[in-house]
Structure 1
Amino acid sequence: MRWTKALTLGAVASLGLVTACGAPASNPGNNTPGQSGNGQIAGAEAGLDPTAKGPAPEVEGAKKGGTLTVSYNTTPANFDPSDQFYQDTAVIFTLSHRALTTFTMKDGKMVLVPDLAEDLGTASADGLTWTFKLKDGIKYEDGTEVKAADIVHAAKRSFDPDLAANGPTYQREFFKGGAEYQGPFKGDKNWDGVSAPDDKTVVFKLAKRFETLPYFVSFNQFTPIPEAKDTKGEYQRHPLATGPYMFDQYIPGTSLTMKRNPNWDPNTDPARNAYPDAFKFNFGQDIIKTQTAILASNGDDATTLNWDAIDSSLVPQIEGDKKAQFEEGPSSCVFMINFDATKIKDINVRKAIGTAWPFESIHKAAGETSHSFTPASTVIPPQIAGRLDYTFENFNGQGDGDPAKAKEMLKAAGAEGFELSYYYTNDDDTAQKVNQVRKQALEAAGFKVNDIGAPAKERRAIVGKPNGKYNMLQSPAGWCFDWPSADSIIPPTFGTTALSQGGTTFGNTSTPEIDNEIKRVLQLPIEEQGAEWGKMDKLLTEKYFYAMPAYYDKGNSVFGTKVKNVMNNPNKGMPEITKIWIDQ
């Protein structure tokens, strides 16, 4: 799912991700995303287990205690549940926040199970009403009971254009009256697209069928928030926990520590284990220094985890005697070079940028290797059913660009000296190296480049604003499927709905043909949609080129010698953090 948008990988064009669900795990190794150990493309899947009960099965040999430190390069913009659609914050919230449903790993595959709800919901005969019943005994960290009205308030809050600008937009697309709703603070408090007829029942009313709704209600937008305790913009500093851990100390832009939640009941939770006593997240960390220290595993580094792409300088270690400290597996994400088509209106100018793009030099400057990516030519990743394997002209994520040809293309378009404006992270050495390579290539192609430096703790928020001072590299810089179907890829990234929420999209523009085609495909039976999304993928690139596929992501984890049971979650391309334990 990604949950959408952006985990910025050490600099690769300062890209961003999203959350996603469902690709099966593979053995660690140098595999293409979505491949199994034998090199065959593995179809994405996310099974359903509506009868799963707590507690979660114990991990063999696991011990309780210790603190797991997670140090990585990105800096989250905030921790407001309504605004979270990013890979890293989604993983962190797995520890502290529960939703109506959730994913867990069983036998190496992701499975959707009930979380706060008793089951995976019940749909009416026409598919336009869904009902979820809550379990008994669910409490917040302060001991108060979770009520259905709290989930309703959270769901309504996810429509607020200020509090949830970077959140998902499926609710606007599918919920009855959702397209115009502005949330409980700016809109009608009595809006009944989501309602609670009693303390244990949540009812969703839809404008059209949404067969994958049980997947969607696993998102952070459906973690309960009591209206009386909602401090709006300040709520993100300490959102009330329902999971095994709660916020202890949060220093925006720097760190977050979590401690045990005394009111979490494992008997109600079929997905989460809670082995460490505490978690500490350090943001904005230098990738090479962090990974080097973890592999050495001296002192606290032995109990530290990093989920950035492995740096090329360290590959000999993780392919050699440090192999046991590295986990690699499939990811649901595709990284893109995103153009703002409202400002770069000529497709030939956008194609000139793609022609000049120095993929190889950028990967080298970022220290990336085949352990962390595979070149891409499509918007839909290989493991999704219906995906077309095509290459538009020479845009295949490979090579080092052709500035001379790009310069000719600019001249032919009457756009010599066209100015490109984008933001890059200026307080990270790797990001600065990547920007230097990128800028030199674009200038050699005849572009004027206005590269704007911003601190890591600010950049994610800046590039997520639709009217920023940029014309490329806005968010999203990548997308991870939210569940294993392209209906969770193309509509939220190319459709107009996200723009109406105050967010950004590939192209940042509203195109009637694209919206109409999305509407047409969504009306088809789910089993017929796959091939149609594949055709649309090709149309989007060849006719519009609002964004250029760059690479299919792989999940990487580097961890200290005392960090145990690190498994790649193919749902996110990140570690299954609730299953990790510390060997003290």
Structure 2
Amino acid sequence: MKKTNWLLLVLALVLSMFLVACSGGDSTDEGSSDDGSTDTEQDSGSDSEGDSEAASGEQVLNLIDGAEIPTMDASLATDAVAFQWLGSTMDGLYRLGENAEPEPGIAKDHTVSDDALTWTFNLRDDAVWSNGDPVTANDFVYAWQRAVDPDTGSEYGPYMMGGVIKNATDIAAGDTPVEELGVKAVDDTTLEVTLEKPIPYFESLTTFGTFLPLNQAFVEEQGDQYALEADTLLSNGPFVMTEWSHGEGWTLEKNEDYWDAENVKLAGINVKVVKDTATGVNLYETGEIDRTGLSAEFVDQYRTSEDFRIEEEPVLFYLKMNQEANEILGNVNARKAIQHVIDRQSMVDVILNNGSIPAVGDIPANFVSHPESGEDFRELNGDLVTNDVDKAQELWTTAKEELGIDTAELNYLGGDTEVAKNLDAYIKDQLEKLEGLTVNVQSVPFQERLDRDTSMDYELQNSGWGPDYIDPNTFLNMWVTDGGNNKTGYANEDYDAMIEKANNELAQKPVERFELFLEAEKKLIQEDAVLAPLYQRAAAQLWKPHVKGVIVNPMGPDYNYKHAYIEGK
């Protein structure tokens, strides 16, 4: 998600990540997992079509990531870094394969009732955990119940399952026993899920990290130490985490007990935490890593290299404006002034210089299309924000008059990586074009940004989001009143009603639903100015030509390494 909190939670330009769901994310990490969450369906760095039987040389992938993994607990994960490595070590019911199509994971197939409320998943009987226990339907029941149990403290459980799985909302509120969640193990290999209402994107949703299974006996045995170290984790996916040196990196090895191990070619993946672009480039040049992200100053140097790649992603970054924490940001004209004063084109051309494009709404380009005409959502709704400094100054003057102030001071929460600091300095300069405004930038580590977003301990924040599933709702549903990832103080009954109607009355009317989402985006961005869109991320990267078969996802884990291999290294 992001994500994935596909805040991507301000996760990586070139990394993972949301406040992208996952997806949330960091706009700046120069790492390996570009997030929520972040993603085109093409081979990342080389030919996805090649026959993986051609794998040769040492089958080890060496990567960097721009941030530490905040958690490997699927119930607590909210960011693209966590979802990347959960997705590499775990299988859910399905996982995303080529062209963002769900491919079998623990589920072999499923059936759906005529009213679209009951989904029955037929599970394989040859899947095991890395401790030898079989993966059963009860592992999903336990994990999903745990995710919505208020005692767990999960952000994504209530957010992803509320209004989707029957009784999830009431359970998360503490009003209904967790056993009443609409998920049942009919037997070890049959999982029955009852939905609250028809969910057009539910199959896509089952690939997301929050819906991964958990081995109840193991989790309870580990207690509060679960998922904090490599030896307090279990895997049921292509790889097993064997080492985790916090703040430094981690190691994955092929899971020989994986149900589809014969199709996993990599023997392992080594990851180092590296926040500095120049360090990453040096490691790449000396052959120590197989991929690195490029910040603006390196792009022109490597643009003609055969190793150079640009990965476009449906990941948006924007300024979140905390309407509760600051009276100025509670003023709609002030927020609109902030939207219009920023020169996004120069930002992506000069500061980022990595293929990113200006963001002009809350839905990315080339993400979802009109179900009838096939036109792209972004093209249909057009540019909801523009760069117009004169208009911004007029709005700002009106805001100051309404607030009775001549000067203003705002605190800006940004990242601590090199790219983040450069970008945040640019945005500060842009904002201070507004007469009488002073912006104080606070550069903090990724985990602190996650924590401060959760507690709404910020005024302005550079944040991002990658899709948790392929539907406009994954972006627009965030901003309903008291939404789990809203964290702006925005509350509007009319906006809430639009999202409610789209996901209930119009759930099985795709054209009307899509067109209502178009109107909802206009209200969110154009009328209420809840966010100041910045850019839609692309990742400028160097990839070793010998890396083959990596799939780039539009949601959940940025990369699928299950089919990756090394050829001729």
Q: Same fold (TM over 0.5)?
A: yes
What residue in structure 2 maps to residue 413 of structure 1?
A: 402
What residue in structure 2 maps to residue 471 of structure 1?
A: 459
- Superposition map of 1:186-225 within 5 A: 188-225=177-214
What residue in structure 2 maps to residue 147 of structure 1?
A: 136
What residue in structure 2 maps to residue 580 of structure 1?
A: 564
User: Is the contact between residue 72 and residue 283 of structure 1 (CA under 8 Å) also seen in structure 2?
Assistant: yes
- The AA in structure 2 aligned to 1:424 is G
Q: TM-score, normalised on structure 1?
A: 0.80
Counterpart of 2:381 (choices 374, 377, 389) is 389
C-alpha distance 15-80 of structure 1, shift in aligned 2 (>3 A): closer
- Superposition map of 1:179-258 within 5 A: 179-182=169-172, 188-230=177-219, 231=222, 233-237=224-228, 238-258=232-252
Task: Give the CA deviation at 1:228.
Answer: 1.9
Deviations 1:21-72 (A, max 9, x none): 995549999xxxxxxxxxxxxxxxxxxxxxxxxxx99525223744212113
Task: Give the CA deviation at 1:234.
Answer: 2.7
Structure 2: distance between partners of 1:158 and 1:542: 35
What residue in structure 2 maps to residue 275 of structure 1?
A: 265
User: Is the contact between residue 72 and residue 290 of structure 1 (CA under 8 Å) also seen in structure 2?
Assistant: no
Counterpart of 2:281 (choices 288, 291, 296) is 291
- Superposition map of 1:471-550 within 5 A: 471-473=459-461, 477-491=463-477, 493-496=478-481, 498-499=483-484, 504-505=485-486, 507-522=488-503, 523-524=505-506, 525-528=508-511, 529-550=513-534
- Whether 1:300 aligns to 2:303 is no
C-alpha distance 261-575 of structure 1, shift in aligned 2 (>3 A): closer
| Structure 1 portions without partners, runs of 5+ | 30-55
- The AA in structure 2 aligned to 1:123 is V
Structure 2: distance between partners of 1:168 and 1:177: 10
3-state SS of paired residue (2:172): coil
Structure 1: distance between partners of 2:67 and 2:398: 36
Deviations 1:78-97 (A, max 9, x none): 22112334333333223210
- The AA in structure 2 aligned to 1:336 is Y
3-state SS of paired residue (2:217): helix
Deviations 1:140-189 (A, max 9, x none): 011111111111111112224554225572311222211121399x9734
Task: Give the CA deviation at 1:420.
Answer: 2.0
- Superposition map of 1:343-354 within 5 A: 343=325, 344-354=329-339
Structure 2: distance between partners of 1:131 and 1:331: 32
User: Is the contact between residue 356 and residue 538 of structure 2 (CA under 8 Å) also seen in structure 1?
Assistant: yes
Q: TM-score, normalised on structure 2?
A: 0.82
- Superposition map of 1:307-456 within 5 A: 308=293, 310-320=294-304, 322=305, 324-343=306-325, 344-357=329-342, 359=344, 362-363=347-348, 367-369=351-353, 371-383=354-366, 384-386=368-370, 387=377, 388-392=380-384, 395-396=385-386, 408-414=397-403, 415-426=405-416, 428-445=417-434, 446-456=436-446
User: Is the contact between residue 19 and residue 464 of structure 2 (CA under 8 Å) also seen in structure 1?
Assistant: yes
3-state SS of paired residue (2:352): coil
User: Is the contact between residue 299 and residue 540 of structure 2 (CA under 8 Å) also seen in structure 1?
Assistant: no
Task: Give the CA deviation at 1:432.
Answer: 2.8
C-alpha distance 556-16 of structure 1, shift in aligned 2 (>3 A): farther
- The AA in structure 1 aligned to 2:495 is I
Structure 2: distance between partners of 1:64 and 1:203: 44
3-state SS of paired residue (2:180): coil
Task: Give the CA deviation at 1:250.
Answer: 1.5
State how many pairs are aligned: 525
3-state SS of paired residue (1:513): helix
| Structure 2 portions without partners, runs of 5+ | 24-35, 371-376
Aligned residues with identical type, % of pairs: 19
- The AA in structure 2 aligned to 1:180 is D
- Superposition map of 1:112-151 within 5 A: 112-119=102-109, 121-151=110-140
C-alpha distance 448-350 of structure 1, shift in aligned 2 (>3 A): same
Task: Give the CA deviation at 1:441.
Answer: 3.9
Task: Give the CA deviation at 1:469.
Answer: 2.2
What residue in structure 1 maps to residue 64 of structure 2?
A: 71
- The AA in structure 2 aligned to 1:472 is L
What is the CA RMSD across the aligned residues, in angstroms? 3.3
Structure 1: distance between partners of 2:40 and 2:516: 21
